[in-house]
Amino acid sequence: MDPLARTPKPPYYAVVFTSVRTGADAEGYAATAARMVELAAAQPGFLGIESTRGADGVGITVSYWDSLDSIRRWQQHVEHLLAQEKGRSTWYARFRLRVCRVERDHDFEADA
Amino acid sequence: MDPLARTPKPPYYAVVFTSVRTGADAEGYAATAARMVELAAAQPGFLGIESTRGADGVGITVSYWDSLDSIRRWQQHVEHLLAQEKGRSTWYARFRLRVCRVERDHDFEADA
């Protein structure tokens, strides 16, 4: 997967999810995280995803969507709701989620 | 520094900067990255910053601002412009930058 999402011309929408892991259940977390990326990518209106986590347990995942409605549907997806529940009970010490409208963007690629 | 930025009630603005490092000049990069965080935090309209980079060299930094004008001023700051130049010539293989308006947000903190 390309680490930089190939999103269309703005405007579109972004969900910025910043989290601190508890450290508990690393295997279960990794499996569900991978499944959620796969599932999100299959939803209507999904445009792309970028995600990274540092050695300090701080992670940022940004998913991109065509509309607020698509974001709402994804947040209510039954399998995603179960993952959110497990996130609150086990995987995350803290998180902050922000829903944004992307107004403009800019790309850079170094000469090969 | 708190890894989750304590931003005010929306709306406010976010700059999502997703990058792939070349691997070159790790020391110079780290010093300038730290200096840019310090400098950004001193600018008018700065609300907070979240940043992480994985072992694969993919990093996401999200800075938060009170207005598009504050973002514009920061992007034109002379010391920041020099860092941007060095980013393009040396530190980054690729990056994508998105300017967003934060519409809503949500917090979670696990019971202690």
CB contact under 8 A, B107 and A93: no
| Interface predicted TM-score of the whole assembly (ipTM), two decimals | 0.95
pTM as predicted: 0.96
Is B88 touching A (CB cutoff 8 A)?
A: yes
Residue A69 to residue B21: CA distance in whole angstroms: 34
| Token representation of residue A19 | 């989290």
Q: Looking at CA atoms only, how far is residue B18 from chain A in angstroms? A: 7
Q: For residue B107, which of A74, A98, A75 has the smallest C-alpha distance?
A: A98
| Token representation of residue A21 | 């892991």
CB contact under 8 A, B100 and A101: yes
Main-chain phi, psi angles of B9, to 5 degrees: -60, 135
Residue A17: count other Cβ atoms within 10 Å of its Cβ.
18
| Token representation of residue A27 | 């295997």
The mean of the pLDDT values for chain A is: 96
Task: State mean pLDDT over A26-42.
Answer: 97
| Residue B66 exposure: Cα atoms within 13 Å on the Cβ side | 8
Considering the domain delimited by A12-102, tell me its CATH architecture.
Answer: 2-Layer Sandwich (3.30)
Residue B109 to residue A95: CA distance in whole angstroms: 7
* Burial of A79 (C-beta count, 10 Å sphere; 0-12/13-18/19+): exposed
pLDDT tens profile B85-105: 999 999 999 999 999 999 999
pLDDT recorded at residue B1: 79
Q: If pLDDT is split at 50, 70 and 90, which confidence band does A112 have?
A: low
CB contact under 8 A, B3 and A20: yes
pLDDT tens profile B31-63: 999 999 999 999 999 999 999 999 999 999 999
Residue B67 to residue B78: CA distance in whole angstroms: 20
pLDDT tens profile A85-105: 999 999 999 999 999 999 999
Residue A13 to residue A7: CA distance in whole angstroms: 10
* Domain locations in chain B as residue ranges: 12-102
User: Chain centroid to CA A91: how far?
Assistant: 15
